A and B are shown apart, each in its own frame.
Chain A
Amino acid sequence: MIIKLWINDQEITKEIDGDAILLDFLRDHDCYSVKRGCVTSNCGLCTVIIDDKPVLSCSTLVARADKKHIYTLEGLQEEAREFGECLADQGAEQCGFCSPGLVMTVLAMVKELKNPSDNEINEYLSGNLCRCSGYMGQLRGIKDYLQKKGGAGK
């Protein structure tokens, strides 16, 4: 079937198989930030943003992304750098393999939640596994980022 969609605002029209998975499609289109960590929808490494919502690209058929705008970290470099610096200052990006999925989910969270508490942050991000950091440094980095954004935005 033929589909049309936008990856990071770039229009793509393409013939695809009915069972093509968005994660593979994105990597085939040079979005290497999108990682796969499981086959059961548990890890969150493959998170991308569609319609402002964080979505698991490993569990999304490309056919279903027809006519949609998809954002990956490649398209959100500025935001990634801004939040990434806060993570880096904590040393919370260890191997970094979970970072793209985390960054994407945090960017979605910032749009969805206002002044989230620690617990709300942790709940929102519970689908993003990290085996290296123990999560504490990530939380410190996220809070720094929220504070910076709050200060700058309002």
Chain B
Amino acid sequence: MRTINKFVKVKTLAEAYELNQKRSNVVLGGFMWLKMGNQAIQTAIDLSGLGLDQIEENDEGFQIGSMCTLRDLERHEGLDEYFQGAVREAVHHIVGVQFRNGATVGGSVFGRYGFSDVLTCLMALDCQVELYQRGIVPLKEFAQMKHDNDILMRVLIKKDGRKISYQSQRHAKTDFPVIAVAVARKENQFFVSVGARPMKAGVIEKSGWLPASSRSDREIEALADWAKDQFIYGSNMRATSEYREHLAYVYIKRGVKEVLGNDH
């Protein structure tokens, strides 16, 4: 059983950051994941009074406060429209509506979970995280960083005209994914991120492939084959590494076709 000695609803980010420097103190996201552990927390740091629960949209992009819930992401019309439903597709399988009313963007991104749909999807976008101490860091970099005592304030996504496709395969529909694949395209640049391998999502980038003149099935398959080889895969109770590797190939291929759309 997890215990919490003290609960502090902080007034400022500075206060939160300071408290978070102590090892036994912990920042609360939606508490969904934290709740299952059995660590003794000295001080639980609650960010919910800092106005970080907003999604702001402007011409440049989206700024998503870390305390926004996954349900907020799912229901945001601007995100849905700009990214062709991919963000919604990435989160709407996660457990259920009540769960997504609790789980936060901050917890999901900061946690950098291997199974994460959220991370997989965001990785294929031009996405950065805004940290209190370190400032703005590309998500790709953040994903590889060690867990430290910084505070995640916002997730920033640029509107750079990417088309994106998100797919996952699961046993039961609201289970963790067996594989999660996001493919994005900015003109002739392709971004492929694969998560739930079961290791956490990574992203690769490839430019110049598939020029408008040669987009046959064979070339798409070759791209998918190459892309899937850029990742390593593992086995767990949901699937073996061999199967995951195959699934990655299939979904990358389909994703590429989807983002090519009428250009294919």
A and B in direct contact, judged by CB atoms within 8 A: yes
Contact with B along A110-133 (1 / 0, CB 8 A): 000000000000011111100000
- Bound-complex Cα distance A92 to B2 (A): 36
Interface of chain B: mostly helix, strand, loop or mixed = mixed
Task: Tell me if A42 counts as interface (CB < 8 A to partner B).
Answer: yes
Q: Which of A38-74 contact B (CB under 8 A)?
A: 39-42, 44, 47, 53-56, 58-61, 63-64, 66
Task: Tell me if B198 counts as interface (CB < 8 A to partner A).
Answer: no
- Bound-complex Cα distance A44 to B97 (A): 9
Q: Given that A18-B6, A18-B44 are contacting pairs, would A55 and B98 also be in contact in the complex, using a CB cutoff of 8 Å?
A: yes
Contact A126 B173 (CB under 8 A): yes
Contact A127 B46 (CB under 8 A): no
Contact A40 B44 (CB under 8 A): no
Task: Tell me if A152 counts as interface (CB < 8 A to partner B).
Answer: no
Q: Which of B23-55 contact A (CB under 8 A)?
A: 28, 30-32, 35-36, 41, 44, 46, 48
Residues of A within 8 A of B30 (CB): 59
Task: Tell me if B7 counts as interface (CB < 8 A to partner A).
Answer: yes
A58 to chain B, nearest CB (A): 8
Could you say which of A39, A56, A66, A125 contacts B102, with CB atoms under 8 Å apart? A56
Could you say which of B41, B44, B98, B174 contacts A56, with CB atoms under 8 Å apart? B98
Contact A123 B32 (CB under 8 A): no
Contact B99 A56 (CB under 8 A): yes
Q: How many residues of A contact B (CB 8 A)?
A: 29
Could you say which of A17, A55, A59, A126 contacts B35, with CB atoms under 8 Å apart? A59
- Bound-complex Cα distance A39 to B98 (A): 15
Residues of A within 8 A of B5 (CB): 18-19
Q: Which residue of B lies closest to A1 (CB)?
A: B7
Contact B96 A127 (CB under 8 A): yes
Contact B173 A41 (CB under 8 A): no
- Bound-complex Cα distance A39 to B36 (A): 7
Residues of B within 8 A of A39 (CB): 35-36
Residues of B within 8 A of A41 (CB): 32, 35, 95, 99, 102
Contact B31 A60 (CB under 8 A): yes
Contact A53 B174 (CB under 8 A): no
- Bound-complex Cα distance A17 to B6 (A): 8
Task: Tell me if A105 counts as interface (CB < 8 A to partner B).
Answer: yes
Contact with B along A13-45 (1 / 0, CB 8 A): 000011100000000000000000001111010
Q: Which of B205-244 contact A (CB under 8 A)?
A: none
Could you list 6 A-B pairs, sorted by A, with CB under 8 Å? A56-B99, A59-B30, A125-B96, A126-B96, A127-B95, A127-B174
A-B pairs with lowest CB-CB distance, top 3 = A127-B96, A19-B4, A18-B7
Question: Which residues does A use to contact B, with CB under 8 Å?
Answer: 1, 17-19, 39-42, 44, 47, 53-56, 58-61, 63-64, 66, 105, 109, 123-128
Known: A1-B7, A18-B7, A55-B101. 5 other contacts (CB 8 A): A18-B6, A54-B97, A61-B28, A63-B7, A126-B174
